[in-house]
A and B are shown apart, each in its own frame.
Chain A
Amino acid sequence: MWTYTLRRLIQGVITVWFIATATFAAMHMVPGDPLGSDRATTEAIRANLEARYGLDKPVFPDQYLIFLGNMARGDFGISFTQQNRNVNDIIREAFPISAQLGILAVLFAAAGGVLFGALTALYRNRLPDVVIMFLVILGISIPSFVFAALGQLGVVRLNNLVGQSVLPVAGWGTLQHMLLPALVLGLGTMAFLTRLMRSSMLEVVNTDYVRTARAKGVPPLRIFWRHQLRNAVLPVITVLGPAIAAITTGGFVVELVFAIPGLGRTFVEAVQQLDYTLIMGTTVFYGAFLVLMVILVDLIYGWVDPRVRLS
């Protein structure tokens, strides 16, 4: 167990190194000069800046090593466009917002997916199954920004109908602000998980141990909770890692539409303004976070399901 964890962590570090290198390479292919002429700089200031960022040295290996050294120390540098701000500070401010939104979205997705998936399997080929599977197909086929727009439209109509603000249309601050964006963010994953849960549950519904439990007179609800749901839910846990990845990066659109000051919006704005350090910092941070999440989910899976041998 410990050697496995250690090996996964080492692999993770190598992956993060690869992500950082790819980011570095991509950012150095961007046409143009980070200290472009549109910013008022004198020769002296320019020389200072170049020395500070090592831009006067060759890209490889000097700049690359400086970059790697800074990353290893967790120093992402100073923002190019937001005055007097560290990239670390910006991430520290924006990431908790994205994380809260993401956690709520994952909760929505997991709870809804497991529940609806189990229902469809229990009512196989009957009305609840048909209705839910139809909604699932819609959920997979409609882009999240359309859901976001429809959600906002719905909230506007609702607020007009009631005559007062029931739910805020956009912004950030309270739990009410989080509900709609988290739901929209989680919908696609919820549809995906419902599908997965359905097929997994169908496998479990008619197993021997379920028949035995039924034969010895265990109440149906107890069979459902203890024998069917518990066994069927395992495959869902494996895809939670990629699902968290999908949800955190899917946050771009939702954060833009709902005007949420999270990391996704920060990244998109950084790209639009070509804020080099902020782009590199966010990418490496995101990458490291995702790698960590996947490792974590794999470890949890081994802990939940003793049949899976971590080797």
Chain B
Amino acid sequence: MAEAARTFTADDFAPAEVRTDLHGIARPSQSYWQDAWYRLRRNRRAIVSLWIVIFLLAFTLVGPLLWRVDPYAQNLDRISQPPTLAARTLLVERGVQWEGVTLPDWPAAPSSAWLLNPERGELPPPERFEVVGDPHTMSVRLRWSPVANAAGYQIYRNTYRPTAVNELGLPLGETWNGNEVGYEDQLALTPSTYWYSITATDGERESEQFVTIPVDVELATTIDNALMRGLIESRDAVRAGEYVSMPANPLGTDYLGRDMLARLMHGAQTSLFIGIAAPLLFVLLGTIYGAFAGFAGGRTDDFMMRIADFVIALPFLLFMILIRVASGIGPGESGILPLLLALVILSWPATARLVRGQILQIREEGYVEAARLLGARDHYLILRHMVPNTLGVILVTLTFAIPTAIFTEAFLSFIGMGVAPPVPSWGSMCNEGLKSMLNSPHELFFPALLISITVLAFNLLGDGLRDALDARMRSRE
């Protein structure tokens, strides 16, 4: 490639202008915390987690102010109800007995020819089996077609579809004549789907053949009861057969008919309180202990760390339970404090070790030596150099300690060694929900979901903080 010919002028040989602005720092200097906050903000997962944590705190602190339902109020009408946004109840008059159905021109007893026949076989079940009127929790009316040579009928009720005669269980009721073909179930039910079955009997032997129908039972309340509970203003304003709305349970109810949303909010107060207060306390304790040991050094350090080693060697869950038992829970106490105490007693050494290691490392740094040479005192060194340089590590430890503490609380409450009932906590709610898992999964699902989301959010936030705060522990992604 040929170079373009160029002529030089005197200007080309003039001395360059001295520009001092090039040597200055172009951007404003960033402090450690500004830099960390900038890094954290760029981590989308951590920011989403941060919002989830804020939402959870709002759910816990503000939630009960907005949703003023008593988490301890039991409502035996509404046991294990699935989530609904609009709950309503049918109004009925109090206890009007149904006279049943009796067919005047059908024989009440089997013919003697049938009874005397030794090889007569089994009676077939009724051909038709149906519900009369609206089935509701105060009464379910059933009628069926008569069976020839029947001396009566047995009615069964189950919460599942029976597939064999031995799954029917004990009869709910029976009629004593072949022409009595109506039955009213007045046992107070909870609204759900029930399976009614019927068999015929000839007076000596019950048939093993049955028919089954599913019945969706809706909630009904007598007008008197509704008045008493303040659901309606006065007797005259309503008539039987109308619906009135009731306080809804957006997340359903538990096995005692308590509102799940209110219990989850109050349970969050327990779980998050333990989950945040305990790590705060033991990280603080561990930091002071570790910093002292690391700063003192020598024999004091050896002795203090040996104690920490022993506490670490204790089997964690076993001693959580032991300390919880040893501190004893009197009647009416929630058991939150013993749990907190046990967590603090058993968890501080890990932080102490970490902080001690950091302090030992920082002690040898050049800048500390320089500060010492310049005549800095101990408290200046600690406050100015050691604390700020370990704060990031401590903060990360704290964030990771929170999900562990929440997990521990949930575990202990789950095996009945945590918070004492009726105080709700997410773990004990899971334990209660486990028993009715097959029929009403929401009782287990919601508390389990909240535990998982909380632990997940704190874990991801911890990852983000670690990447943002601590260059040495930064994960290689």
- A residues near B (Cβ < 8 Å) are 15, 18-19, 22-23, 26-27, 29-32, 137-138, 140-143, 145-146, 149, 152-153, 156, 199, 202-203, 245, 249-250, 252-253, 256-257, 267-268, 271-272, 274, 279, 282-283, 286-287, 290-291
Contact = CB atoms under 8 A, between A and B. Distances in A.
B251 interface: no
22 contacts: A15-B310, A18-B310, A18-B314, A26-B323, A26-B325, A29-B327, A138-B452, A140-B455, A143-B410, A143-B455, A145-B411, A146-B452, A153-B437, A153-B441, A199-B475, A203-B476, A245-B315, A252-B411, A252-B415, A282-B318, A283-B318, A287-B313
A271 B317 CA distance: 13
Q: Which 7 A-B pairs have the closest CB atoms?
A: A141-B456, A29-B326, A31-B328, A26-B326, A26-B322, A146-B448, A249-B317
Contacts of A287: 313-315, 318
A155 B417 CA distance: 28
Contact of B416 (A142, A149, A272, A290): A272
A256 B430 CA distance: 14
B448 A267 contact: no
Interface in B305-321: 310, 313-319, 321
B315 A249 contact: yes
Contacts of B427: 143
B244 interface: no
B209 to A, nearest CB: 22
B460 interface: yes
Nearest to A250: B317
A295 to B, nearest CB: 11
Contacts of B430: 143, 145-146
A291 to B, nearest CB: 6
B382 interface: no
Contacts of B465: none
Classify the secondary structure of A's interface with B.
helix
A282 B315 CA distance: 11
A30 B328 CA distance: 6
A249 B431 CA distance: 18
B326 A143 contact: no
Contacts of A252: 317, 411, 415
A193 to B, nearest CB: 16
B434 A149 contact: yes
A250 B452 CA distance: 17
A257 B416 contact: no
Nearest to B451: A143
Classify the secondary structure of B's interface with A.
helix
B438 interface: yes
Nearest to A255: B415
Contacts of B459: 137, 140-141
Interface residues of B, number: 41
A271 B324 CA distance: 10
A60 B53 CA distance: 49
A162 B190 CA distance: 32
B286 to A, nearest CB: 18
A141 B310 contact: no
Contacts of A143: 407, 410-411, 414, 427, 430, 448, 451-452, 455
Contacts of A29: 326-327
Contacts of A137: 456, 459-460
Contacts of A23: 322
A71 B451 CA distance: 40
Nearest to B322: A26
Nearest to A25: B326
Interface of B: 310, 313-319, 321-323, 325-328, 403, 407, 410-411, 414-417, 427, 430-431, 434, 437-438, 441, 444, 448, 451-453, 455-456, 459-460, 475-476
Contacts of B314: 18-19, 22, 287
A267 B412 CA distance: 13
A253 B417 CA distance: 11
Contacts of A30: 325-326, 328
A257 B416 CA distance: 12
Contacts of B438: 153, 156
A106 to B, nearest CB: 17
B411 to A, nearest CB: 6
A26 B437 contact: no
A199 B316 contact: no
Nearest to B430: A145
Contact of B326 (A18, A19, A27, A141): A27
A253 B315 contact: no
Contacts of A19: 313-315
Given A22-B314, A23-B322, A199-B476, A253 B328 contact: no
Given A140-B459, A145-B430, A253-B414, A279 B322 contact: yes
A103 B476 CA distance: 32
A145 to B, nearest CB: 5
B321 A271 contact: yes
A256 to B, nearest CB: 6
B302 to A, nearest CB: 14
Contacts of A291: 313
Contacts of A286: 315, 318
Contacts of B316: 249
Contacts of A145: 410-411, 414, 430-431, 434
A149 B411 CA distance: 14
Nearest to B321: A271
Nearest to A290: B315
Given A26-B323, A30-B325, A142 B448 contact: yes
Nearest to B309: A15
B313 A267 contact: no
Given A15-B313, A149-B444, A283 B322 contact: yes
A22 to B, nearest CB: 6
Nearest to A267: B318
Given A152-B437, A287-B318, 8 more contacts: A22-B319, A30-B325, A30-B326, A146-B452, A245-B315, A257-B434, A268-B417, A271-B322
A165 B345 CA distance: 46
Nearest to A147: B448
A252 B317 CA distance: 9
A203 B475 CA distance: 12
A152 B456 CA distance: 23
Contact of B411 (A140, A199, A253): A253
Contacts of B328: 30-32
A153 B437 CA distance: 8
A23 B315 CA distance: 11
A283 B319 CA distance: 8
A283 B314 CA distance: 9
Nearest to A22: B314
Contacts of A141: 403, 452-453, 455-456, 459
B414 A26 contact: no
Nearest to A280: B322
Contacts of A31: 328
Nearest to A283: B318
Given A27-B326, A31-B328, A283 B315 contact: yes
A203 B434 CA distance: 43
